[in-house]
């Protein structure tokens, strides 16, 4: 959540993407016989995880192994790095874990590494810099040129989807971001209404945010052409280590007004990834690409959400853009879609005094 927010400003908005995706091509245009069927419910998956050594990747790896799945982990760290090794409590799962030092930009090596998998969780990305490295070791990223950030991120997500079609992998999770809407790195975010949901228009301004929006559009294109695919684009908020998740710990993130004072725990993000792969087709059918906000239900601050909005976004209040009665420190992201389609929820921290502080 603590990022460099100096980015160029463009006043025009991006076109709103279609969030309820219908199949626009005939099934006769696709060779479905070459694609393996989606594994039945309850059957363990063989899951490829890119960016596996990061904060989120490590959490997804642990949860997947705990739930009996096989993990093919991919990252750019050498195999002798401690972050590529399983922790002691997962030694019993060693036979279900394989690590490959490979970048998602290396198409052929990436494809070879994930051959035989039944699902992919693509987490690898390049952030806007300078920033603190997501692996939590305190080292500072030197920062990347905006064109490098954008081009690498959209290439990695496209490689993931293209490889999936070539290998018949039908269940895909792509790490998107709340910033696909245009938030933290925008000069001033423009919200039509609050709380926001997945139908809100996307207005990214910077390379990272634009790359996440483009990732979601890539998903739209692939399900139109390959109707056996099911793609979840998960819009993570700033991911917090589980040991930081407390009212006191969250409040230390400060007045993060551009991203609406949001947060989400690493363990909850991991659950969203696994649920995106395993949710029943009755709630998340094949042939669809869906975006989901993955954000905690309360804000980081122990104060009235409405008062914060009145202070930072008075135009939304003035224009009648508050769509629900905001109670206490209620969050400003509507994650109802993730609950309905994936069965995902996150626990929050209601500030007891906030119910008296709201008006």
How far is it, in rounded angstroms, from Cα 310 to Cα 342?
33
How far is it, in rounded angstroms, from Cα 344 to Cα 341?
8
Instruction: Check residue 143 and give its pLDDT.
Output: 62
Higher pLDDT, 92 or 117: 117
> pLDDT tens-digit profile of 115-152?
999 999 999 999 886 443 333 333 334 467 888 999 99
Instruction: Check residue 113 and give its pLDDT.
Output: 99
Numbers of helices and strands, H then E, in the chain: 10, 11
pTM: 0.85
Q: What is the mean pLDDT of the chain?
A: 86
Token pair of 73 as six digits: 């982990």
Confidence of residue 14 (pLDDT cuts 50, 70, 90): very low
- SS3 call for 35: coil
Spatial contact of 265 and 286, defined as CB atoms under 8 Å apart: no
Residue 11 has pLDDT above 70, yes or no: no
Nearest to 149 by CA among 190, 187, 179, 107: 179
Residue 20 has pLDDT above 80, yes or no: no
Instruction: Check residue 253 and give its pLDDT.
Output: 81
Instruction: Check residue 41 and give its pLDDT.
Output: 66
How far is it, in rounded angstroms, from Cα 303 to Cα 335?
21
Instruction: Check residue 29 and give its pLDDT.
Output: 37
Residue 4 has pLDDT above 60, yes or no: no
User: What are the structural domains, with CATH classification, of the chain?
Assistant: 27-304+332-348 (3.40.50.720)
> pLDDT tens-digit profile of 148-202?
999 999 999 999 999 999 999 999 999 999 999 999 999 999 999 999 999 999 9
Mean pLDDT of 234-238: 97
DSSP element (H, E) containing 46: strand 46-50
How far is it, in rounded angstroms, from Cα 179 to Cα 204?
7
Token pair of 250 as six digits: 């969250």
């Amino acid at each position: 959540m603590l990022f460099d927010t100096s980015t160029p400003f463009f006043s025009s908005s991006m076109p709103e993407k279609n969030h309820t995706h219908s199949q626009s091509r005939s099934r006769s245009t696709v060779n479905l016989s070459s694609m393996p069927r989606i594994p039945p419910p309850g059957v363990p998956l063989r899951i490829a995880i890119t960016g596996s050594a990061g904060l989120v990747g490590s959490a997804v790896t642990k949860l997947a192994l705990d739930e009996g799945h096989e993990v093919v982990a991919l990252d750019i760290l050498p195999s002798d790095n401690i972050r590529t090794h399983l922790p002691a409590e997962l030694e019993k799962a060693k036979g279900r874990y394989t690590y490959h030092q490979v970048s998602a930009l290396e198409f052929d090596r990436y494809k070879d590494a994930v051959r035989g998998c039944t699902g992919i969780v693509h987490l690898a990305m390049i952030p806007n810099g300078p920033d603190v490295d997501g692996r939590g070791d305190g080292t500072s990223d030197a920062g990347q040129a905006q064109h490098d950030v954008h081009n690498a991120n959209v290439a990695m997500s496209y490689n993931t989807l293209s490889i999936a079609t070539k290998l018949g992998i039908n269940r895909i999770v792509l790490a998107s971001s709340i910033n696909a809407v245009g938030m933290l790195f925008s000069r001033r975010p423009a919200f039509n209404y609050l709380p926001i949901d997945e139908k809100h228009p996307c207005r990214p301004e910077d390379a990272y945010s634009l790359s996440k929006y483009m990732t979601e559009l890539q998903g739209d294109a692939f399900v139109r052409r390959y109707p056996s695919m099911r793609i979840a684009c998960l819009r993570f908020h700033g991911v917090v280590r589980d040991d930081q998740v407390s009212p006191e710990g969250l409040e230390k993130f400060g007045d993060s007004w551009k991203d609406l004072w949001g947060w989400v725990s690493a363990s909850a993000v991991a659950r969203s990834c696994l649920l995106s792969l395993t949710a029943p087709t009755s709630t998340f059918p094949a042939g669809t690409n869906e975006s989901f906000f993955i954000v905690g239900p309360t804000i980081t601050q122990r104060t009235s959400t409405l008062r914060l909005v009145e202070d930072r976004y008075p135009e939304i209040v003035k224009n009648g853009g508050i769509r629900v009665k905001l109670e206490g420190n209620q969050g400003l992201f509507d994650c109802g879609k993730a609950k309905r389609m994936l069965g995902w929820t996150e626990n929050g921290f209601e500030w007891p005094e906030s119910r008296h502080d709201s008006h």
